[in-house]
Structure 1
Amino acid sequence: MSDKRQRARVQGSWAKPLHKPQQPTVSAQDVQSGSWKYGARSFEFNQPDPIREIPAEKVIENAGDYEISQGPTGVSRLRLIPGFLQQEEADWMFSKLLAELPWSQKTNYRMMGDAYEEPRLTCWYGELPYTYSRSTMEANAQWPPVLSTLHLAVEQKSGRTFNSLLCNLYRDGKDSIGWHSDSEPSLGPQPTIASLSLGDTRVFSLRKQPLPEDNGDYTYVESIRIPLAHGTLLLMEGCTQEDWQHQVAKEYHDRGPRINLTFRTMSPEPESPSWRSVR
């Protein structure tokens, strides 16, 4: 073999040419759409879902009017009035109501028929019975003088009229009420609820209803915390019952008894089963 042929063989001139990989073809339209083709395969790049942060809980403690949300349904408002009753007056009324109201523990029923007792004591005043959680509270039509006095004072302060009253007795920190809205048809659209607290301070919590696309997930909704002290009046107005839920959660430390009076306006409605879970 000549030196020339030997050199050519060593340098690989006899070898078959290597296959060059096909370069990806990218057009301006592909760049804009976030996809391109590589040979027979195609690649798509989707934008990652935005990172959602859980909103910090807001705390309301000072007297005032608060617009807590505004949306397609309207405006949701709270009015907080600490010291609506002075200490001595509140002490006397608390003792009177604790001793004299016909407190009882209501039995409710779940949709499957299971019975459970509410973790608090209640009584109901007004002209109409009150049905929720598939059981009915019969109305006490005769209001005791102390309730009549409070009824008039709340109407004068709020500028509203009320014909019904739900009384709740939280015996200690283990008594509670779960997430719910006061949105029965008998209350009408955008009802005003006046809530008067007597006794030990308990935290009143609110959370906004989730967006339709969240499918009932409350992880990222706005929330509010309100410590309700002895003699405090809270008014929930506008779309608060439609756009928000509220609760008084259990508190696993020493808590004394608390009475909560929620004044509302009821109207007759056709008899039908109620599927509300708690009130």
Structure 2
Amino acid sequence: MASSPSKRKAASSEDADEADGEGRRRLRSRRAPVTPPPSPPPPTAPPPLSAVLAAALERPLSWRKVSAEGLDVDYCRLLGRAQADRTLADLERELDYFTGELARVFVFGKWHDIPRQQCSFGDPGLSYKFSGRTVPARPWPEPLLALRAAVEKASGTSFNFVLINRYRSGQDHMGEHQDAEKELDPAAPIASVSLGQPRDFVFRHRDARRPRPHKKDIPTVKLSLEHGSLLLMNPPTNQVWYHSLPPRKACPGVRVNLTFRRMLPPPPP
């Protein structure tokens, strides 16, 4: 039976639609592929700490002199907040602290755990003896080399050893003592850099510690050591005054203190 004109017309329309769709598919296949958007650039590596500290020292330093009978101290803000934050972060990532016997001291005839964390670094062959211990000098890591260069530029003094104390909280502290060991160069200052939680640093004259009637009424000297600060203890401070960092419950944050020293060369074997 022959199809009706209306059916033939519908079939013809369907064939045309199919041909048109096929043509569009072929046209799309001939088009150039779509280029994906470019990937974002990789994150820029932070500048080395040496560059950060060099930039910090381009500004003049404002020094404060603190003096008394036999006390000669210079104090300044060595680093701005951003530079101090970066330095502390690098040191927290880089440093490992002593454990075991090196984390103890011999005081008043007994061994005691040090109420803070410690480590030390320095030039080859150097060590530091105090409180019944001999502290070895490990090789300088890059962050400490950068900080030493900044301290040397600010102070005008060269240093070959650093003792680092890390105070985990306000409970960690440092008892009253003198840095008067025979390995230290008596003509050089001790440069103390403070990072993190501000803490009180207290000086007391040796004659104020004596029993009466020989005790003298010499006032103590107290300084707040701020984040990024530098304290220079100049001679004869360590021969005349004791210093300490007492506990402070109101100061819960971490503090890292670095005392750069100039050690005398070891005697020949």
The two structures have a TM-score, normalised by structure 1, of: 0.67
1:148 counterpart SS class:
helix
Q: Which residue of 2 aligns with 1:5?
A: none
Between the aligned residues of both structures, percent identity stands at 33
Partner of 2:50: none
- Against the structure 1 CA distance between its residues 79 and 216, is the aligned structure 2 distance closer, same or farther, given a 3 Å change threshold? farther
Q: Which runs of 5+ in 2 are unaligned?
A: 1-61
Say how many residue pairs are matched.
202
Shift of 1:103: 1.3
Q: Is 2:78 aligned against 1:89?
A: no
CA distance in 2, matches of 1:212, 1:143: 37
1:144 to 141, 149, 164: 141
Residue aligned with 2:148, SS: helix
Provide, for residues 226-247 of structure 1, a one-character-per-residue CA deviation record: whole Å limited to 9, x for no partner: 0011000000102100111100
What is the aligned partner in structure 2 of residue 79 from structure 1? 74
- Take 1:168 and 1:150, find their aligned partners in 2: how far apart are those partners? 15
**In the aligned structure 2, how far is the partner of 1:211 from the partner of 1:223?**
9
Q: Mark the structure with the bigger radius of gyration.
A: 2
What corresponds to 1:36 in structure 2? none
Matching residue of 1:134 = 132
Question: Which secondary structure does the structure 1 equivalent of 2:91 belong to?
Answer: helix
Q: CA RMSD, aligned part only?
A: 2.4
Structure 1 Cα separation of the partners of residues 66 and 111 of structure 2: 38
Mapped to 2, the partners of 1:181 and 1:217 lie a distance apart of 20
* Partners of 1:92 and 1:234 in 2: CA distance: 20
Q: Distance in 2 between matches of 1:110 and 1:226?
A: 26
1:253 aligns with 2:250: yes
The answer for unaligned runs of 5 or more in structure 1 is: 1-61, 71-75, 272-279
After superposition, the C-alpha distances for 1:117-145 in whole angstroms (9 at most, x for unaligned) are 100001111131111111121210x2111
Change (3 A) 1:148 1:108: same
1:214–1:182: structure 2 CA closer, same or farther, 3 Å change rule? same
Pick one of 103, 108, 130 that aligns with 2:105.
108
In the alignment, the residues of structure 2 paired with residue 97 and residue 130 of structure 1 have an alpha-carbon distance, to the nearest angstrom, of 21
CA–CA distance in 2 between the matches of 1:213 and 1:176? 23
The alignment status of 1:65 with 2:59, answered yes or no, reads: no
Q: 1:117 aligns with which of 104, 113, 132?
A: 113
Decide whether aligned partners of structure 1 residues 176 and 217 sit closer, same or farther in structure 2, where only a CA change above 3 A counts.
farther
**2:197: which partner in 1?**
200
1:263 counterpart residue number: 260
Q: Shift of the alpha carbon at 1:99?
A: 2.2
The aligned counterpart of 1:99 is 93
TM-score, length of structure 2 as denominator length: 0.69
Match of 1:19 in 2: none
Distance 1:190 1:239 in 2: 8
Map 1:18-33 onto structure 2 (within 5 A).
none
1:224: Cα distance to partner? Answer: 0.6
Q: In structure 1, what is the equivalent of residue 221 of structure 2?
A: 224
CA distance in 1, matches of 2:121, 2:84: 20
Write the distance in 2 (CA, Å) between the matches of 1:224 and 1:160.
25
Of the candidates 150, 153, 157, which is equivalent to residue 156 of structure 1?
A: 153
Distance 1:69 1:190, change over 3 A: farther
Shift of 1:218: 5.9
What amino acid does structure 1 have at the position aligned with 2:132?
R
Task: Give 1 or 2: higher helix fraction.
Answer: 2
Tell me the alpha carbon deviations over residues 238-258 of structure 1, each in whole angstroms, 9 at most, x when there is no partner: 210011110000112342000
Q: Which residue of 2 aligns with 1:32?
A: none
1:159 shift after superposition: 0.6
Partner of 1:236: 233
